Structure 1
């Protein structure tokens, strides 16, 4: 059963009038099914952060809502219930820090090395940039979420670089490479990144299948960066 069917059935069968009551309802409704509870809690908390992210610059635009739908790829028959959750989160007085902390807690003691948190931040960047610019308030939002996720400055800069205009992004930063890297080392790093960010790997580490659009965006950015780095390094290879 898809995550959206699970969420739709949950919302339909649960009396919810505020987003703060959603999380507690998830805990009790899926108490005997921890795997489904984790996936539903992940998705609902991500919906909340997306709604808060869209409001960070002061206004929620249709472009940002479309970006949310691009990342989540919600089937038509479930969009009404997901939109209801999204609107409840927008209206909730709770700060986004609480939802970010909840997402981080899904990783338990391995939070610092939890790739799933990088996946979430990628989705938030996609929504933030959808109106053509990353605003100062959005960057503060994203930076705070990254701190709560225990992502260091280098990791944050790498994610940021993936979302800069394709022609402006520093390909070495996108790939996490030093300027004096050898061609063979750079190629190994590129192959590692492609392997780690394959959609199957995201699913294996707990990201719902419906969230895999993030992997496709990330792989495209990694491939574009490698094209530039490969040409750059080959130009300096000894003949």
Structure 2
């Protein structure tokens, strides 16, 4: 994470305002000031006066949003369980492949978010304002929120309310939410949930959905978009998961 050294070194200027900027400022010991949302959305990476490239700023915002939202939702039912902590750590290591210094930074953001006066809703809205056109990143965020919320074997009512709030802010449909949730709260075949369709879908519907998802999550396509490096690992794992689910369903149905 090249941006991390720039922040720790104090060379950052404009980068991150709003609720996430408040948490980042407490975590890094720097002042973050507001920046127009459309500046995050430029497709060509490069210097923009902050000391960070556009991709690095997007990476910083995702990083801060993820651990801020996880901090709030983990504490929502009054306590942070050991299982939730382990789920957050697995996200750091397995999904984002963070090194030890980056994991310590993530934990610092998590702790500051738990005690911050900023709200889960504010974090979600700022995250969505930047990533609203990148559905795979939206899904990653919903996935990890559900993963951590269900880590102790149960999603409490207050956690469910926060999850549904996030899904509304992200324009994540109820159908997609239920399918994603079924990966962790088992009510339906998880292979169908991976392909974002239900068990009553026709063979043609399943094939069409498979082709769409393979195209969307192909690692080469993720790299070509210039997205932060952490998402390449996520896309690769997702791509493999989609292929495995499709093969499982195809063999069972015999098409």
TM-score with structure 2 setting the length: 0.71
Cα deviation, residue 51, structure 1: 0.9
Bigger relative contact order, structure 1 or 2 (CA pairs below 8 A, ≥6 apart): 1
Q: How many angstroms apart in 2 are the aligned matches of 1:180 and 1:169?
A: 11
Which residue is 2:23 aligned to? 19
Instruction: Rate the CA distance shift 1:69–1:31 in 2: closer, same or farther, 3 A.
Output: same
- Measure the CA separation in 2 of the matches of 1:72 and 1:121: 15
2:126 pairs with 1:102: yes
> Structure 1 residues 64-73 or 216-225, which shifts more?
216-225
After superposition, what is the alpha-carbon deviation per residue over 1:159-201, rounded to whole angstroms, capped at 9, x for unaligned?
2123334x85354454233555443442332243234234444
Cα 1:205–1:63 change in 2 (3 A) is farther
Aligned twin of 2:138: 117
Q: What residue number does 2:158 align with?
A: 137
**1:21-170 pair list within 5 angstroms:** 21=25, 25=32, 30=50, 33-73=53-93, 74-107=98-131, 111=132, 114-165=135-186, 168-169=188-189
Q: What is the root-mean-square deviation in Å for CA atoms of aligned residues? A: 3.3
Question: 1 CA distance for matches of 2:78 and 2:237?
Answer: 26
Match of 1:186 among 201, 206, 211: 206
Residue-pair matches, total? 225
Shift of 1:214: 4.5
TM-score (structure 1 length as normaliser)? 0.75
Instruction: Tell me if structure 1 keeps the 8 A contact 2:219–2:239.
Output: no
* CA–CA separation in structure 1 for the residues paired with 2:156 and 2:227: 28
Richer in helix (by share): 1
